[in-house]
């Protein structure tokens, strides 16, 4: 290839600096892994992409019609520090050849601007890098009178060139990469995924660090909630981790929540729920041969995330528990979600973990926690783990669009409905219609006892719980007499 502008585009991948300071064996393994990851990811775009691996970079030459997609995929691949776009010229050996080529392709950039030439070279040559900079810079200065001249310190335009033996590369663009280690070099982790801001960012950060991140989801809100979380997991995998196959495990936790309400003191319900999630995750991780768990908890963000309560939670597992957001502020987390594209998912995702906490303890007692733990029937937890379903994340796209929309009713003046208030609180909404109280955690068993010749409207404060539980009953049981009530 003599010029990349015709039919192809050249990319140069520079490695994450922490890769380059590793020992020779570890560095070689990481570069090999990144090389394989890139070939896997870009291979889905085109078979006409060429790759070359060096000790300090990877070169990629792709068809011109794939440039945009290739560039985006590379910028989302962990392990890449810098991505350079370059024009490539072969069989260039003299300074005179170089100065004419560089001037021809970069002269427009220095019009009415100061500039400087920066050169790097590899191989045996009769000249140094500084000779290249001086010769090319002087030639461009003499042949471009409209430029403002050379400025070695604060130039408005920097012309970067590389000479590798007899191959000349003119760097036309520089992009900041994702950094981090290549996925597949740091082992596997199981992420407790709720679909909200925190768990998605925690998962992103471990993927960025090169950890193969699997997902476990504790279903408290029915099939609609599950599909919502699957969408987030698929998005993260497809964008940042598609070089490797990972799994998504869904654990039915509605009965576990019911058992918490039946057995646990209300101030310890939130901590108990988190403990049970870790216990279930440990069982699943054991089956998968995974040593570490991941959560999105941030110190003091909610009552269960004080240092004491986190210590109480971690008591139940022998696994390493990573919390990359532990010292991050919520605005920082939300801004990162906005940057990586998960904000739109998180904003519409209900956060169930806080739903069951009433007057939650902020500095729990180890002795009291031990007593509360003895009250719980762990057969319920074991059954939930046994009933869990695991699929590969790359298969999620087959079902994420299968969910339907629940009809929302605003006007109940005709009194043809029975309102079911599914809120956890003891108070019940007052309407002109017949109204009954069934907390959401009892709906699964109690709704089937109601007369099925009536039309029911589920009600909660924000409409999220009612939407999701209505969807669950419709999809799992086939009911056709459920809608959602949302007052104007």
- Shared domain for 77 and 203, answered yes or no, is no
- Shared domain for 232 and 375, answered yes or no, is yes
How many other CB atoms are found less than 10 A from the CB of residue 220? 25
Higher pLDDT: 433 or 358? It is 433
Domain final residue, candidates 121, 154, 176: 176
- Shared domain for 305 and 414, answered yes or no, is no
Q: Which of 353, 428, 433, 460 is catalytic?
A: 460
User: To 5 degrees, how large is the angle CA 404–CA 407–CA 409?
Assistant: 165
42 among annotated binding-site residues? no
- Shared domain for 420 and 379, answered yes or no, is no
Q: How far apart are CA 299 and CA 303, in angstroms?
A: 9
Tell me the torsion sign for CA atoms 26, 32, 36, 38. positive
Contact 277, 218 (CB under 8 A): yes
* Domain carrying residue 163: 8-176
- The whole-number pLDDT of residue 6 equals 44
Region of residue 376 (left: phi > 0; alpha: psi -120 to 50; beta: else): beta
Q: How many helices (H) and strands (E) are present in the chain, helices listed first?
A: 16, 19
Q: How far apart are CA 84 and CA 390, in angstroms?
A: 40
What pTM was estimated for this model as a whole?
0.81
- Shared domain for 378 and 421, answered yes or no, is no
Residue 363 lies in a domain: yes
| 194-198 average pLDDT score | 90
Domain final residue, candidates 127, 150, 176: 176
Residue 3 lies in a domain: no
pLDDT in tens, 29-75: 999 999 999 999 999 999 999 999 999 999 999 999 999 999 999 99
List of long-range contacts for 27-30, beta carbons under 8 Å, 24+ apart: 29/185, 30/79, 30/181, 30/182, 30/185
If you write DSSP's letter for every residue of 362-406 in order, what string do you get?
SS--HHHHHHHHHHS-HHHHHHHHHT-EEEEGGGGGGTTT---PP
274 among annotated binding-site residues? yes
- The whole-number pLDDT of residue 89 equals 92
Residue 402 lies in a domain: no
CA 265 vs CA 110, 271, 301, 372: distances in Å: 72, 11, 22, 7
DSSP-assigned beta bridge partners for residue 214? 190
193 among annotated binding-site residues? yes
Given pLDDT bands bounded at 50, 70 and 90, which one contains residue 464?
Answer: low
- Shared domain for 162 and 96, answered yes or no, is yes
pLDDT in tens, 19-35: 999 999 999 999 999 99
Contact 162, 186 (CB under 8 A): no
List the CATH number of the domain containing 481: 3.40.250.10
Q: How far apart are CA 50 and CA 14, in angstroms?
A: 17
Characterize 144-174 residue by residue with b for buried, 16 or more Cβ atoms within 10 angstroms of its Cβ, and e for exposed: beebeebeeeebebebbbbbeeebbbbbbee
- Shared domain for 139 and 115, answered yes or no, is yes
Instruction: Say which residues have a Cβ less than 8 Å from residue 427's Cβ, sequence separation at least 6.
Output: none
433 given a catalytic annotation: no
Residue 435 lies in a domain: yes
Residue 183 lies in a domain: no
Higher pLDDT: 415 or 60? It is 60
296 among annotated binding-site residues? yes
For the chain, what is the domain count?
3
List the CATH number of the domain containing 228: 3.40.50.620
């Amino acid at each position: 290839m003599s010029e990349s502008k015709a039919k192809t585009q050249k990319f140069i991948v520079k490695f994450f600096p922490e890769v380059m300071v590793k020992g020779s064996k570890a560095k070689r393994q990481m570069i090999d892994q990144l090389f394989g990851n890139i070939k896997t990811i870009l291979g889905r775009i085109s078979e006409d992409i060429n790759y070359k691996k060096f000790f300090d970079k990877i070169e990629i030459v792709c068809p011109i019609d794939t440039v945009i997609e290739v560039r985006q995929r590379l910028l989302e691949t962990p392990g890449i520090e810098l991505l350079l776009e370059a024009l490539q010229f072969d069989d260039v050996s003299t300074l005179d050849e170089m100065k004419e080529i560089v001037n021809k392709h970069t002269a427009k950039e220095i019009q009415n601007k100061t500039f400087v030439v920066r050169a790097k070279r590899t191989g045996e040559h009769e000249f140094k890098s500084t000779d290249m900079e001086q010769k090319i810079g002087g030639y461009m200065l003499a042949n471009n009178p409209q430029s403002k001249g050379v400025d070695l310190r604060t130039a408005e335009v920097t012309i970067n060139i590389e000479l590798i033996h007899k191959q000349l590369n003119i760097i036309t663009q520089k992009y900041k990469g994702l950094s981090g280690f290549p996925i597949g070099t740091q082992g596997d982790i199981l992420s407790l995924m709720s679909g909200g801001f925190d768990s998605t960012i925690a998962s992103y950060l471990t993927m960025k660090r090169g950890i193969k991140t699997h997902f476990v989801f504790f279903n408290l809100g029915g099939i609609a909630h599950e599909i919502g979380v699957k969408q987030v997991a698929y998005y993260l995998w497809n964008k940042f981790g598609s070089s490797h196959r990972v799994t998504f495990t869904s654990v039915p936790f509605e009965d576990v929540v019911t058992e918490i309400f039946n057995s646990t003191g209300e101030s310890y319900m939130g901590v108990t729920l988190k403990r049970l999630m870790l216990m279930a995750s440990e069982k699943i991780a054991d089956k998968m041969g995974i040593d570490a768990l991941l959560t999105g908890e941030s110190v003091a963000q909610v009552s269960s995330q004080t240092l004491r309560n986190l210590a109480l939670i971690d008591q139940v597992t022998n696994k390493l528990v990573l919390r990359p957001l532990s010292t991050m502020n919520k605005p920082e987390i939300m801004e990162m979600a906005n940057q990586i594209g998960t904000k739109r998912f998180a904003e519409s995702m209900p956060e169930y973990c806080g739903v069951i906490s009433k007057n939650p303890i902020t500095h729990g007692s180890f002795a009291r926690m031990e007593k509360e733990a003895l009250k719980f029937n762990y057969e319920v937890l074991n059954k939930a783990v046994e009933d869990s379903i695991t699929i590969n994340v790359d298969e999620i796209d087959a079902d994420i669009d299968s969910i339907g929309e629940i009809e929302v009713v605003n006007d109940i003046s005709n009194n043809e409905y029975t309102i079911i208030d599914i809120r956890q609180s003891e108070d019940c909404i007052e309407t002109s219609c017949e109204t009954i109280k069934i907390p959401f955690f009892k709906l699964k068993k109690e709704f089937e006892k109601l007369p099925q010749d009536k039309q029911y409207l589920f009600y909660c404060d924000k409409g999220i719980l009612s939407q999701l539980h209505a969807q669950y009953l419709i999809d799992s049981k086939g009911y056709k007499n459920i809608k959602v009530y949302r007052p104007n």
